[in-house]
Structure 1
Amino acid sequence: MDAIRVTKVENVLCSKGGKTGLGTLHLTAHHLIFHYQDGEKEMWVPYPLISLVTRLPQTLQGQCPITVRCRTFEMFSLVFAQESVAIDVFESVKELTVITSVQQLYAFFYTPNPPFPTSTGWSLYSPREEFGRMGVGVRTKAWRFTDLNKDYTFCPTYPARLVVPTKISDTTLQYAGKYRSKARIPTLTYLHWANFGTITRSSQPMVGLTQSRSVQDEKLVEATFQSHWAPDARAVSGPIYGATSTNLIVDARPTTNAMANTAKGAGSENMDHYKDARKAYLGIDHIHVMRDSLGRVVEALREADAVAVGGDPPGEAILDRGALRRSGWLRHISAIMEGTVLIVRNVHVNSSHVLIHCSDGWDRTSQLSALAQLCLDPFYRTMRGFMVLVEKDWVSFGHKFLDRCGHLSSEKFFVAPAENAAAGGSAEAAQAFFASVQKRFASQADIKETSPVFHQFLESVRQVQRQFPERFEFNERFLRQLHYHLYACQFGTFLFNTERERRVGDGGPPPCERTVSVWDFFNSPDEREKNLNPDYDPSLDDPTSRLSKADMGVLFPNPRDVRFWYQLYSRTDEEMNGRVITSQARGVEMLGPIEGVDEDPTIITSSAASTPPSPAGTPVALPSSPQPSGSSASLISQPPPQVTASSGLSSSLPELSQMTLNDTSANSGSSSEFSLRTPSGPQRTPSPAPGRGPSSPRRPPDWAGGVKSIWGKLSSNASTAFSAVQGAYDGVARDLSKSLAASTDDGESGVNAGELKSRDQLSSAWGEDSSSATSRAQPSYTVSSSNPWETMRERPTIPSLFLDNPWNTARAPLPSHAPLLNEIPFAGTSSLPHDPTVSYPKPIAPVRSSTLGRPRDVISPAPVIQLSSGSHSPSGATQVKNSQPTSVSDRPSENVDPLGVGFM
């Protein structure tokens, strides 16, 4: 109590969630309490829940604000009338939050009132009972319990009871312990109920630069991978059910990290010495990368809160979803889920064994092991089973809760302006404040052990729960409450690093006898009722079910279907994940919200590998897979049509099955909500820009493959002209697509071979020399850029396949309502300038079979009706003449348009 300078402050303004209220602030030994005068519910904040406190300089109105951010991603500010009071509150909160011993935490002083109905939380998990439920000693005799670590002398970070192969003696284990980091040897954590597949866990081997090996460790791993044989049946020639050769050693680290640890004397297994096994690197980053990734998420939330000032509700805050994507948080969760699916498939489908480790085997190893068991065993998806899972794979196996959660906090999380800055004026005070902020972030690297590892596990569980909502007995609130009590330090479950620290008292009763278990709180009737999932259906987990959708109770989550857990961050789903498209396109797999082309990993990978960099503002056509027979253009990337301010609906693009945004439109604010894939390769569909209303629903036509047009919001006037040019090109494009469908000698598809030819190549193939192809008179019109709202710019003189697009709306379009060519208003009766490059085709005759043997870029053109630029009738009507070239040599070298769509 000596640390509390002031216990009560009246007339304090508190702003939280866009609401501001007047009330009284109370500071107790373990909580910050704010009591509202208007009768609103009191706000209780445990001090360990505070992650950052900032005391701002005095404002011009004489107010002294203090901003508090919590580990539950909530933020509130307290405004005091006097600076001395604000300083006293700031220093008191700092002294009460930054402590030197875990014994000072609230859990050692908390007594439930009234007491909880049950007090069996510390004995909820019994190793003998849980492993007996799996079948150790019952279904199989290949595993045994060992008391080698009963006094925690063999491995201080391991539990007292370990399950090891029966034919491995304790002496062999003693030698094997010297080869594993921290003596964390491979030991059993899960025996699959459907077969004898197992999950074992350990730490990294001490290989080093000398490539050391341990025969005892190799024998221990070999016995683990052969545990599906009974010990007394080892000499049997034929394998027993479950014997396969797909045993895995899963190294959760990236390959470079594992190799870097070799220089420190550790490393990864040399697979030449481990029989009947393969090794897989999962590429999950270490704790420092995860801490920085979550920090970027928090920074994006903080910036959104800074925008929502002046009483705006949180829903009106502008949350930068691009910043959330760039944080990499969902990418890390996806990597964990991919590793989980690999483990689940190898254990359940392949009936094999998996050994998991990372560096020391208490962070990424716990994540993968627990999440895989959650998918394999329906028991762990019940409320009691999940408690047992956390106790077994996190609490007893030595996850460092005290270090990773930072329960003791640090003075670096308390930022205040310099004390002597007020005398130097507001400018000096502001400078000193920002310097202190920079100093805090620069020295944050000293806090090396904190990382949201268990938080990341809870988010991964939430992803599985969201994908399988009927397979969990507990709801989303249960996970959120668990995250709260992870940092609140009200209970003793998550206060220590090892089982030894909880079970062994240093000169007094052990902490397990002095604190209350968090499971007693969750098992209380009131709390349990709130955490039950009403949609839970245990019949779906029946392993004997033979229904069409039966899965034996084993879940295979989709690693690509990951979304931000918006409830945890006190946001809305639309704020953090974007709008959800409820009607899924036909034949397209919905993988989750993607903000733009630059953020889709599949498109980034393919485009980076095969697409050279393009000049700024030039649309980039991403590569695509060959289309099935009958489809037309494989991939189109083009600038949108120029539109006026009066925007309406536009028609969809005919004859298109794939579409992608170009770089300029992606950077200018266009966003795609979902990444779409079809069997032919990665594809995308755009979505309305943020802040706009949705376009009117319409059923996509059969030729569109279920993908809506990107121009869903453009002007109806522009769509009329746009569809008119498409109609003129429709017949030639279909004929050209069919003619180019045959395979070429180099293996290219007809679509790619035809569309990726340059203008000069096409000209030379049609019998024109390069000089005549490049000496054509360029029309004086302009083309629009990829941004439909960008000012018109002059057309470049360099030929470009992307800019010279036959669908470019900058050319003079043919109105769809003009029935006859002689009624086209482009002659003297029209005020519009005549464009000599526009031609309109007649109905196209069937392609002769003789053209199929030619190269793809040399085909017989369709008959065209060409508008003469130099001859006009006395009445002012345009003179029309028929042109039918019969061969390449008969074509004129000037002013010829073989496709009838304008010069390329």
Structure 2
Amino acid sequence: MGDPTDFIVIPKIKVIYFSQTPNGQVLLEGTLNITAHNLLFYNNDENTFTILYTLFEKIEKQALQDGVRCQLILKTKTFLEYKFEIPSQEEMNVIAKSIEQLSNIQELNNIEVYFPFLYHPRNELLCPIAYPWNGYSDILSRWGCPPGKFLVSDLNRKFTVCPSYPREVIVPSICSEDNLIESAKYRHGYRFPVVAYYNKKTGASLLRAGQPLVGNMQKKCDSDKKLLNACLVTKQRGRIIDTRTKSNATQWVSKGGGTEQPGMYPHWLLEYCELERPEAMMENYEKLFKICLEQGTPNRGAHWITALSSTKWYHYVMTAMQTALKIAGFLQTDSSSVLIHGTTGTDNTLLLSSLTQLILDPYTRRLEGFLELIIREWILGGYPFRARTMGLLESEKERGRAPTFLLFLDCVWQLMRQFPRSFEYKDTLLLLIHEHTHASEYGTFLGNSMKERSTHKLNDRTFSLWAYIHSIRDSFENPMFEENFACLWPCIYPINFICWQRMYLRDPVLEDEIQHYEVKVKEVYEERDRLRKEAQRLEDIFLRLKVASELMSANKDGEQKTDTGDVKMGTVTGKKGTETSQTDTTNSPDTVTNRTDKTASETGPTKIPDTTTSETGPTKIPDTTASETGPTKIPDTTASETGPTKIPDTTASETGPTKIPDITASEMGPTKTPDTTASNSDTVANSLSSSTTDNPVKQDDPTAL
């Protein structure tokens, strides 16, 4: 392959670009530049864009009515259309031929012809980066695998066992390297069974491989059988899902292939899933591409829907989803391990393995988890991106093309449509990834295998798409996302599968409406999040106030119970500590009350206990139960008509405690209810005690009490 510039005859030409906008078609005069790697259009109004040649799918030429000017129509693999008016037929033919030759460059031997090797981003966040994960060991930990069940084998570190496998794979620990090598020789493309997913709930494993090389001789391989049986759950039979039709699988027997026979694998049950071969899918993809970009498609009616059905594309989508759902049921409900394989194990096998994990593993529905899934199952799994995506539809090199990865993205979108809150990312992420699988300035999808990428040192010489995605991840986040840890069980009736208009129709008016809708949805959910935070804040305040109120109430009840108990039991302070005892106000030898008026005694005047310290022990406070009338009031001794009440001498007496004169009801007025609160009762008792021992009260002082 020579220098790409050898194909450029007319490097620059004045053209008119037919721009499709939400307001209709706009004609822009400008210059079209044909460079070594992309097509560049620019005009004085700064309407500039570039298109990598590898993005083109089909080139069409049309003559205009005047017979002089011509129209060059460039259709892309992303279902977009670019129309340019060229001044003459001759110039258009020359330019069209140059674009066709530059679009069919596929040889990787001369790696300098690929744009990712020449791309140097200005953004410092974009740096050479391998993959957004830390290897298979972390994956085993996240899956919750029991210690010793599986191991990360580097048997293929030099790509000598299987050229399409990565350096490391997950295999059962019980299998030796010799077992793996023997199994590899028994499988198509040396793709021996490897673990793609482990269900920690049931202990079942998901494996993928190439078809067994049974042939007409009905060959057997004990190492292959041992590898598969090591993944079985106790007392449960495994399932083998052959992605091909039964007739197609049988045809491969004469070519040395085939499928597992029941007699060879008695612990495994075989099923076929009726998915089309990649070559057959490609034929129907061409039909899909044609009807999506045909003229007049904005006014799509019954005729267009019938044409869409004839492509069988959504039959493929439905079949893939039904099979993935069945596999997920085997793993999650039946506790049965599953082996998936087709012919090569690189197309439908990876499709079903990936969809099954999306159904079962909630981590794959997060942005980082989805990128990891694509890395593990498609890039490291050996999907030949270069062979499946490069070249024009009508070129001779189109024979290796297949739309399997596009089918996978469509199935993901169908899941997202049925479970809009379970995915952290929007379909704009799917659209971006699809575009970069065909044409990219990054080396992420360049090459057919890890061996090929390693040979040309793509990780060191090119930049990563994942770094770019992480730098703008906010634009892919789904505002409706609420993490769902349950399995997703979608409806799989034909009516549930609809056309992914944002991918296939690319209508500017429709895209404008979708973007407007997304902005409104984002605003609504941002307001919802704000209200949730405010509600949480108010709830926290309410709970704190509630707890504080309960504590205050508990403290108050505790104080009341303590005070009531203290008053009932009495508080005795002696030399050896504090003693409490039940006090009888009538029989206690330490508290004596002499009544001089029986009438007053019957009405219950307030009695003040003797506070003089006696030889028999400390003074005891009588029982004063709680009253509804309020705190205890000490009788007013100034209310007597005869003058101030004389308080007898309260000094210690040998004959016994001093007797306090009885104050009758007639003289004092209504009886005052004793105080039961801790503060008042303690204050009264303490004041009386201190007045007796430290500061004797004068008998003629009416205010002493």
Normalised TM-score (structure 1): 0.53
In 2 relative to 1, CA 495–118 (structure 1 residues): closer, same or farther, beyond 3 Å? closer
CA deviation string 1:372-406 (max 9, x = no partner): 11111111110000111110011111001111112
User: 1:573: Cα distance to partner?
Assistant: 13
Q: Which has more radius of gyration? A: 2
User: 1:7: Cα distance to partner?
Assistant: 2.8
Query: Does the residue aligned with 1:320 lie in a helix, a strand or coil?
Result: helix
Instruction: For structure 1, list consecutive stretches of 5 or more residues without a partner in the other structure.
Output: 227-242, 309-313, 414-443, 542-552, 577-904
Q: Counterpart of 2:433?
A: 482
Q: Counterpart of 2:143?
A: 134
Q: Which has the higher helix share?
A: 2
Matched, 1:451 2:402: yes
8 A Cα contact 1:382 1:474, kept in partner: yes
User: 1:98: Cα distance to partner?
Assistant: 2.4
RMSD: 2.4
8 A Cα contact 2:79 2:506, kept in partner: no
Query: Which of 219, 225, 238 is the equivalent residue of 2:226?
Result: 219
Q: Counterpart of 2:245?
A: 254
Q: Counterpart of 1:563?
A: 498
8 A Cα contact 1:405 1:450, kept in partner: yes
Q: Counterpart of 2:278?
A: 287
Q: What is the number of equivalent residue pairs in this alignment?
A: 499
Pairs within 5 Å for 1:271-286: 271-286=262-277
CA deviation string 1:747-777 (max 9, x = no partner): xxxxxxxxxxxxxxxxxxxxxxxxxxxxxxx
Matched, 1:6 2:10: yes
Q: Counterpart of 1:398?
A: 382
Q: Counterpart of 2:652?
A: none
Q: Counterpart of 1:647?
A: none
Q: Distance in 2 between matches of 1:573 and 1:247?
A: 49
Q: Counterpart of 2:104?
A: 98
Q: Distance in 2 between matches of 1:319 and 1:567?
A: 20
8 A Cα contact 2:59 2:72, kept in partner: yes
In 2 relative to 1, CA 573–265 (structure 1 residues): closer, same or farther, beyond 3 Å? farther
Q: Counterpart of 2:150?
A: 143
8 A Cα contact 2:131 2:375, kept in partner: no
Amino acid at match of 2:502: Q
User: 1:315: Cα distance to partner?
Assistant: 4.9
User: 1:207: Cα distance to partner?
Assistant: 0.9
Query: Does the residue aligned with 1:523 lie in a helix, a strand or coil?
Result: helix
8 A Cα contact 2:162 2:189, kept in partner: yes
CA deviation string 1:659-697 (max 9, x = no partner): xxxxxxxxxxxxxxxxxxxxxxxxxxxxxxxxxxxxxxx
CA deviation string 1:32-54 (max 9, x = no partner): 122355x3743321111001112
Pairs within 5 Å for 1:688-767: none
User: 1:16: Cα distance to partner?
Assistant: 4.1
8 A Cα contact 1:222 1:275, kept in partner: no
Query: Which of 462, 466, 479 is the equivalent residue of 1:534?
Result: 479
User: 1:196: Cα distance to partner?
Assistant: 1.3
Query: Does the residue aligned with 2:101 lie in a helix, a strand or coil?
Result: helix
Amino acid at match of 2:315: R
Pairs within 5 Å for 1:333-372: 333-372=317-356
Query: Does the residue aligned with 2:131 lie in a helix, a strand or coil?
Result: helix
User: 1:316: Cα distance to partner?
Assistant: 7.1
Q: Distance in 2 between matches of 1:397 and 1:19?
A: 44
CA deviation string 1:389-426 (max 9, x = no partner): 110011111001111112xx25945xxxxxxxxxxxxx
User: 1:123: Cα distance to partner?
Assistant: 5.6
Segment of structure 1 superposing worse, 565-574 or 180-189? 565-574
Q: Distance in 1 between matches of 2:265 and 2:344?
A: 20
Query: Which of 179, 184, 207 is the equivalent residue of 2:186?
Result: 179
Q: Counterpart of 2:120?
A: 111
Matched, 1:160 2:158: no
CA deviation string 1:619-647 (max 9, x = no partner): xxxxxxxxxxxxxxxxxxxxxxxxxxxxx
User: 1:117: Cα distance to partner?
Assistant: 5.2
Instruction: For structure 2, list consecutive stretches of 5 or more residues without a partner in the other structure.
Output: 512-705
User: 1:163: Cα distance to partner?
Assistant: 1.6
8 A Cα contact 2:385 2:445, kept in partner: yes
CA deviation string 1:336-378 (max 9, x = no partner): 0011101111111122211111111110110000111111111
Query: Does the residue aligned with 2:263 lie in a helix, a strand or coil?
Result: helix
Q: Distance in 1 between matches of 2:289 and 2:302?
A: 14
Q: Distance in 2 between matches of 1:499 and 1:11?
A: 42
Q: Counterpart of 1:326?
A: 310
User: 1:213: Cα distance to partner?
Assistant: 1.5
Query: Which of 77, 83, 87 is the equivalent residue of 2:93?
Result: 87
CA deviation string 1:442-498 (max 9, x = no partner): xx6x63210111111011111111110110110111111111111113211111111
Pairs within 5 Å for 1:698-847: none
User: 1:276: Cα distance to partner?
Assistant: 2.3
Matched, 1:210 2:155: no
User: 1:56: Cα distance to partner?
Assistant: 3.1
Query: Does the residue aligned with 1:273 lie in a helix, a strand or coil?
Result: coil
User: 1:575: Cα distance to partner?
Assistant: 10
Segment of structure 1 superposing worse, 86-95 or 168-177? 86-95
8 A Cα contact 2:324 2:355, kept in partner: yes
8 A Cα contact 1:32 1:44, kept in partner: yes
Q: Distance in 1 between matches of 2:12 and 2:393?
A: 23
User: 1:160: Cα distance to partner?
Assistant: 1.0
In 2 relative to 1, CA 575–258 (structure 1 residues): closer, same or farther, beyond 3 Å? farther
Q: Which protein has greater RCO, CA pairs closer than 8 Å, 6+ apart?
A: 2
Matched, 1:69 2:53: no
User: 1:118: Cα distance to partner?
Assistant: 5.8
Normalised TM-score (structure 2): 0.67
Q: Counterpart of 2:464?
A: 517
Query: Which of 53, 58, 73 is the equivalent residue of 1:52?
Result: 58
User: 1:94: Cα distance to partner?
Assistant: 2.5
Query: Which of 378, 386, 392 is the equivalent residue of 2:362?
Result: 378
Q: Distance in 2 between matches of 1:10 and 1:368?
A: 49
